[in-house]
Amino acid sequence: MSAPDLSLVLPAQAENVGVVRHALGGLAEALGMDPARIGDLKTIATEACTNAVVHAYADGQGPMEIDASRDDDSLVVTVRDHGDGIRPRADIERQSLRMGLPLIGALADSFQIGGGPGRGTVVTMRMGLSADGHEPPGAPEVETTIGAMVSMPAGSLVAPVLSRVISSFAVRADFSVDRLSDAILLGDAVAAQAPEHFPDGTAKIAVDERDGTIAVRVGPLREGAGESLLEGMRIPQIDASLERLADQIRVETEADSEHLLLELTARSG
């Protein structure tokens, strides 16, 4: 089986549902999905992820995994947890429309649910890229810490997905509009240059937010790629660099690979 076009792994927490919505929306838009269908995709993703947030883990601690793959003229999305399975539970902070599986069944072209007590839950949903079933012209994995890690085939789809993920974390960190623009510019600069620097052709970019600071970690990269990425941020016409938009930016070397680390703080003024 081929690798998913997009994989996300995040803690099953309510604040991460929006990250999934934005990442899937960016991928679907880049693949040419009908705008109305993108709205439906975000809705069913919200319901499936909220199920994991509410029902999966008794102590509220555990991951949810989201895979998305293009299959002919459709996008297939799988939401998986490793918790206790669907069970009754108080739903105090739920972000969904409270319609769960019936709503997924109404909006998705098809869906399946699997798992059981002690085996977690897997919800697989298929959405056509266009409302009439005709394929428009026009394929990315994320591990977890506190935030998310985007891992996808290096290529043109990295930029739209990464910008949506960074935007979600920037909003969570209460960035101003100007600071949000800085974060997206840096993300776009990395996405534009990075594909050639990943040794296995897979872009891996971790994004985290703590105490108003967004941290972006790119890599592992080929030897020398970190400095190459920094050099690519230069704007010779005005003798400046996008590097100045970050509060911190550095290259770390581990064994025979490198990581580029950027930090942006929601500073005022």
pLDDT digits 0-9 by tens, 193-246? 777 888 888 888 888 888 889 998 888 888 888 888 888 888 776 666 778 888
Residue 110, both tokens: 């098809």
For a pLDDT cut of 90, what percent of the chain falls above it? 20
The verdict on residue 219 lying in a domain is: yes
pLDDT digits (tens, 9 = 90+) for 25-44: 999 999 999 888 898 999 88
Report the CATH number that the domain containing residue 182 is assigned in CATH: 3.30.565.10
Dihedral sign, Cα of residue 144, residue 146, residue 150, residue 151: negative
Same structural domain for residues 170 and 115? no
Give 190's contacts (C-beta < 8 A, 6+ positions apart): 162, 205, 216, 218, 229, 260, 262
Structural domain ending residue among the three candidates 128, 162, 184: 128
Same structural domain for residues 179 and 210? yes
The verdict on residue 140 lying in a domain is: no
Read off the pLDDT band of 142 (50, 70, 90): very low
Domain that holds residue 186: 148-265
Structural domain ending residue among the three candidates 67, 97, 128: 128
The verdict on residue 142 lying in a domain is: no
Same structural domain for residues 69 and 155? no
Same structural domain for residues 15 and 110? yes
pLDDT digits (tens, 9 = 90+) for 184-196: 888 888 887 777 8
* Cα(100)–Cα(1) distance, integer angstroms: 29
Same structural domain for residues 116 and 197? no
If we measure between CA atoms, which residue out of 8, 24, 112, 130 comes closest to residue 63?
8
Number of domains in the chain: 2
Same structural domain for residues 212 and 171? yes
